[in-house]
Amino acid sequence: MQYGKAFFAGFLATVIFHQGVFALLHAAGVVPVGAWNMTSVPPLGIPSVISLAFWGGLWGIILWLIIRNMVGAKYWIVATVVGAVAASAVALLVVFRIKGIPVEGNMIVGAAILNGAWGFGVALFMRLARNIGA
């Protein structure tokens, strides 16, 4: 049951926190494209944001395995830092290379901000799920 909650937390954190911060960065003129991209992606033709959220859900399980026994500030800090560092490293060093997207210096900071927000969101949703007895 915890793994399902963690997947759902990661999925929601992607749609709300990651993409919400992405929308703010777009509004500020920092990124050229908007959030919540509905362009279909292969092989299933699902919207890009749903594909991203699916992977966010899988990452949510991994993050939950790391933070589940932590308490206090450590819980929040580790969730945010793991999101900012680990998820960004995989995105920039693996996913972007597979997709042929060149990595530029400013993308590192942007990825850390987006994925840090995602990590915080996962931690928040998992804490809420525990507090409401879900």
pLDDT at 133: 59
Tokens of 26: 């777009």
User: Global pTM?
Assistant: 0.91
Other CB atoms closer than 10 Å to residue 48's CB: what's the count? 13
- With a cut of 70, say whether residue 92 has pLDDT above it: yes
> Quick one: average pLDDT of 8-31?
96
Give the count of domains, the chain. Answer: 1
Helix (H) or strand (E) holding 41: strand 40-41
Expressed as residue numbers, the domain containing 126 is 2-131
- Split at pLDDT 50, 70, 90, the class of 125 is very high
Q: Is residue 72 predicted with pLDDT exceeding 70?
A: yes
